[in-house]
Structure 1
């Protein structure tokens, strides 16, 4: 995606699009600017991010709502490869549990992406806004997430930022719901061990922290952390004093507990599955296919006791800076609004890098190094709090780091 190349103007001076992939996107053709305006009615801005804006977008022929993401190339100068990596992955994925790129248009100054729009809020919203929430509901959510991961991992794509904020609830006309995974800003194709220390601390796998090389199984670990939270409202590994180092120590040891009274009424089957997803040894950790065939997910091993009040109470206590939402931008728009560039200033340092006293690299050089196939020692900033990147200090749960530029080390 070059700021100057990739498009030409016709005799009327209207930019004509240049398509990056001749076969089109997810079976859809890449469209010219006039075609997009003919096909869609573009409305008001519904999200305004650092590198992109999101506008209302309605398909004229069907009245179906989409989101039009407009990336400003001037703001991406020198980092075009990060956007291209993210979009190249979006072009490849088509699955009912993944937010889909419908079509794209490239002009000299902007990249236009027509995206699927999900209006039902995120995973936490689904629990806190419902009147009844049971193990069976949690099991269905895990089924959706594992289905998305089985598909991605089958393509050798690792997401690297699986967390509740990136799981959106899609509500269908018949009243049924399903989850859709979004935000592929950290996703990359696995061609060998990855070393970039990235993700969201509460959900980050031990092999990422250890810097021993990692792969697809980091997504399973994150899904295991989410499954744990779904059933009790707080994460399995937490630091009482907001220190990243303490949290990472806990993750590396991986001592899993199901404290009373919060877990007293949860089935043994659920606890067994979580233990298999949170295996410190990545090779012994479950695959997405194994999760889908586990009795708690595939059979009736989950139960119908209403846990809504208890889980909501704990969610609000432990993730208070994300509940309720602080702004008017919906969860679905926020996920679309993010780009790979929004991740890049948020590298965190692993314990090994802290212990060895290696100097924290400047963020920009760390990003460049990782993009150029290096191991990354991030900055030594104190651990930020729950899901509010680099802000309020409550529970260490989420700085949402960087980019998807690493290669086999």
Structure 2
């Protein structure tokens, strides 16, 4: 009788750890006693009480069973049909085996108990007549495969759901990046509006000095002010028109529709069935209604049996990302309205200045700059209205973050 014979079937595959000097015979016997007396699996005993790594344990299994080893990787493209067949047996849930790959006719299985006859019978009964390859894998990692690909709420593997949700988070992040670019463009336009405001102010000041009589100290000052104002106005107008063309095909409706499209995953992976708060009125706009369906949720899924915690956290991250996406769209619409109001305010100021100069000095051959100021003011008012009017209702219905609005007591 060999030394391994006194160990149980659960502890025996880890006997190569003794020959490698990672533990003693007494450690193996202690692990075997913990398994027989308290049902503490040797794999758990070695990792938690003796501090061995998963790599060490995995290598020991490979040496004992003379198999290549496999580490858990959630990115493995496990075919869904194989996973569905596997769950007809008890082995995957118990952490004994799980199919991990199909290459033409060859099926690859992760096994933690290769010498178990019941495991081999289960595999052969579900996948008869197929060439098979086996790889040594820790029991805990086989259980992770089973948990990731178990069928859950949406009648699909949890691991596939998590991958799809990660895809949707990337999609939402990409859309928020585009919205941020739009807000940057709007800030760019408002920056050149400030330059344009300064240039029109110089034109108005130079025109006033010119009409009032040249100052004796600096006789060319009115002409310099007008020339600088016209130059700055031409540069700022060119920069603004170039930026304005980028927005000619981007309407508030297209922003809202795109935001709604990237939130479509909520209908497939989430069940937003909580009642609407009693004091919350139904919004009139599409974006407002999108915000309504998310304001109640900080976390929409409580941990359940059979889920690993990261599945729950992945779903929660998606809902929080959806909330950020809706609010990013609101910020973009508010930035567009703010841009329109800035143009409207500047246009009213410049129009008032031109009309004031024209009424004070009267209409004459020297009133061309007054007419320029009036025309610029009217154009700014019209452009500001074009920016502001389409979005006047959208940003007014911004959802409130109710977990911040509640009283502390």
Q: TM-score per shorter chain, which class?
A: under 0.3
- Asked which structure has the greater CA Rg, the reply is 2
Q: Looking at secondary structure, tell me which structure has more strand per residue.
A: 1
Considering fraction of residues, name the structure with more helix.
2
Superposition TM-score, scaled by structure 1 size:
0.22
